[in-house]
Structure 1
Amino acid sequence: MFSKTKKISAYPILLLVLIVAVLMGVSIGTVKVPIEAILRILFASITQTSIPDSVDTMYENIVMDIRMPRVILSGIVGASLSIAGAAFQGLLRNPLADPYTLGVSSGASVGAVLTIFFNLSLPFLGLYTLPVLSIIASFFTIFIVLFFAKRVDRTMRVETIILTGVIFSSFLGALISLMIALTGEELRQIIGWLLGSVSMRGWDYVGIIVPFFAVGSAILMMHATELNAMSFGEDQAKHLGVNVERKKMNILIAGSILTGASVAVSGTIGFVGLVIPHFIRIIWGPDHKHLLPLSALAGSGFLILADLVSRTIIAPSELPIGVITALIGAPIFAVILMRQRLKGRG
């Protein structure tokens, strides 16, 4: 059904979509920048040559200082959430699993909100304080979720893990609400951050997320074969020689790294890690050797376009990007859930 040729053809298709999304994201805005000017500016930046006189200096400032870092950041966040979602879905053998339903992103949000609330800055970390504390909080959350799921159900069925994740996600959401109620001047910053945004982040935030994205995605790609084996069940994976407990922990840690770093730089952006991998799996198959990179490409392009919509649909004002992804993702989530129930009855 999913031929090798079909899978290979997916890469140029999604790469083309991503390139178009990047060019649209950089070009469209309050000031429209011609595609030709963008290409000239990028060529000059890459080759370290001077920009032609025919290109307006204003365009250079808009492209390199405002829109390009925003587009790249949204692309990396989309890729991070999508590849983490694909890994969690494969690990738990359930298309409804993602960093949000498992409570990982809520844990990361608590870590980030505490950092903002107390204005924390750890020695030697500086700007990296926020992502590091978010990742630590996401680790702590996933370990607690797994611990309680095992206490409730020693077999740790998928349904038990997801239900436990939802419960802890609700509890952590209440904890965040409590901190918002207690805060003063930080209120606007925390609420704006919780709604999800890549606005006014700049190149510093791109530099923050890149190393975490590289490490997390590399770990997951190295575990693609094990994810394929575990998709058939843990017992089957053990028969195939997979060290299930160790590999499961590696995958959960890598997913938490990607989720924690994404939440730290962009706030909570839901449904990307749920919807994108599910569609890629339907169209191009469940082989994680292709599913993971294809999900990253598709998630990157999707979030760039979602961010473009968020800042242009009611221009000059902006909507939080998390609102756009929720408006798109929530109905799709409902459709997936209904299909699961109908499939179960059949």
Structure 2
Amino acid sequence: MEYLDFEMPIKELKEQLAKCYDIGKESDVDVTETCSKIEKKLEETKKEIYKNLTPWQRVQLSRHPNRPYTLDYIKALCGDTFMELHGDRSVKDDKAMIGGLGKIGDQSFMFIGQQKGYNTKTRQYRNFGMANPEGYRKALRLMRMAEKFGIPVVTFVDTPGAYPGLEAEERGQGEAIARNIFEMSRLKTPIITIIIGEGASGGALGIGVGDKVFMLENSWYSVISPENCSSILWRSWEQKEKAAEALKLTANDGMKLKIVDGIIKEPSGGAHSDREGTFEAVRNQIVSTYNELKNLDITKMINTRMDKYANMGVFKE
């Protein structure tokens, strides 16, 4: 288990607890009371730390190397029923964007999401979760397939942004993202969007238009990353904490600004500390939301979806 800077007190207490148990096993000394005190202190420390996280600390948690990615959620939700579909039928199969059919219980869903890698080799293979235009076009192809067969769509957003390379711009990165936003706004099937990690810029918006949009408690959603914002405003990454605060990128900020529809609580310690608990929370949210959407009139559902996004950013002086 890797620990972030602000999690070091938890690491120290866990090490103390492990040593305490080892002493009890290796000697006749009764360490039960001491271990209980350390366990109590550990729980109190975890509650104190995760109750008062700053926006920058939540950004750090969203990037934790042990945090589950899109395929982890899909495999946990669908098991062996998931069938991945490939290619945009034009250029190639983008490994940073994955999608396919799977079942939760007896209900089929079209799952789409950005996929990051677990080590250097797979990160390069997945292009660090940054999709090219063909990734967004593949996503749109799968959404249209879902619409044709009346299958609801679930998207998992986890990207530092769309790939900014020259070749991506040559193949129409901006048009591909804009086309997805336009088409998703009028797609004739329910769309449930969940931001599971990083939700940055147009890369997130390209699969982020939904009837219901949810954020995991320690995810973030913003037009730009704190580091890039800091480099533009202060010519340095050193002000990233200040930028994270100003960007209002946390799940709570998203709720206040009416950008998202709900927050999925993570287990104490973050999604990486209890994967099964996180998968269960996401499963319950998908099932309950689909049950809420499935009986809606399609025309009314689309109009409600469009009104939702049209009203974002509207204010009165």
User: Do both share a fold (TM > 0.5)?
Assistant: no
Q: Which has the higher contact order (CA 8 A, sep 6+)?
A: 1
Structure with the higher helix share, 1 or 2: 1
TM-score category (smaller protein): under 0.3
Greater share of residues in strand: 2
Give me the TM-score of the superposition, normalised by structure 1: 0.25
